Amino acid sequence: MNANSKTENRALASTVLELDVNNHAGVMSHVVGMFSRRAYNVEGIVCMPVGYEKNGLKSSGETSSEISRIWLLVNEDARLEQMIKQIEKLEDVLSLRRHGAEHEVFERLEEFFH
C-alpha cells in the first residue's frame, strides 16, 4: 500500500449511523437536512418502520408504526462529531448509535444495486 492509497482510504473511511426516530412525514427531512445544509454528503440511506415499543408522538389516523429506524452511511469527516451532536438534539430522534464501516447493513443491500 503506497502513501497515496492510504490517504485515499482515510478520506473514504466511513461510518454507519443507526437512528431510532418517530415515524412521521417530516423526520427524514429533519435528519437529512442536517447534512445537506452543511454540504455533507450522505452516501447511503435506509429507513423502515420497526414497531410501537417506545413513546412517540401519537398522530391520529396513522396506521403505520410509531417508530422507524434510519440507517445512514456517511464519510468520516472532521465535522462528524458535531453532526452527531446536532442529530441527537432533534426532537424526533430517540436514539443514535454509531457503527464502524464494517457494519453489514449496507453491504447486504448491495445486491439490489448491481
Partner 1 sequence: MAANSISNQKEMFMTSKRSEILTGAQIVVRLLERQGVRLLSGIPGGAILPIYDALSQSTQIHHVLARHEQGAGFIAQGIARASGEVAVCMASSGPGATNLLTAIADAKLDSIPLVAITGQVPKSMIGTDAFQEVDTYGLTIPITKHNFLVGSAEELLEVIPHAFRLAASGRPGPVLVDIPKDVQNQSIEVSDWPAPGASDPAPAPDAVLISRAAAMINGAARPILYLGGGVVHSGASGSAVALAEKAGLPSVMTLMALGAMPVDHPLSLGMLGMHGARCTNLALDECDLLIAVGARFDDRATGKVAAFCSQAKIIHIDIDPSELDKIKTAHVGIAGDVKAVLGQLVPQVEAILRKPWLARVADLKATHPLRMPGIDDPRMPYGLIRAVADCLDDEATISTDVGQHQMWVAQAYPLRRPRQWLTSGGLGTMGFGLPAAIGAALAEPQRTVVCFTGDGSILMNVQEFATAAEEVANVKVVLMNNASLGLVFQQQTMFYGERIFASKFRGMPDFIKVAEGFGWQTLDLDNAGDPSSALRAALSLPGPVLIHASIDRHEQVLPMVAPGAANKDMIGG
Check if the beta carbon of residue 18 is closer than 8 Å to that of residue 71: yes
Q: 1 or 78: whose CB is closer to partner 1?
A: 78
* Closer residue to partner 1 in complex, CB, 3/78: 78
Cell numbers placing 35 = 447534512
Virtual torsion, Cα 55, 37, 47, 82, nearest 10 deg = -60
d(CA 24, CA 60): 11
Query: Binders of partner 1 among 33-62, rule CB under 8 A?
Result: 33, 37, 57-61
All residues at 6 or more sequence positions from 65 whose CB lies less than 8 Å from its CB, including other chains? 23, 49, 50, 51, 52
Closer residue to partner 1, CB minimum distance, 82 or 95: 82
Q: Which is nearer to partner 1, 42 or 101 (CB)?
A: 42
How near is the Cβ of 29 to partner 1 at its closest, in Å? 6
CB of 55 to partner 1, least distance (A): 12
Binding site for partner 1 (CB under 8 A): 25-26, 29-30, 33, 37, 57-61, 81-82, 85-86, 88-92
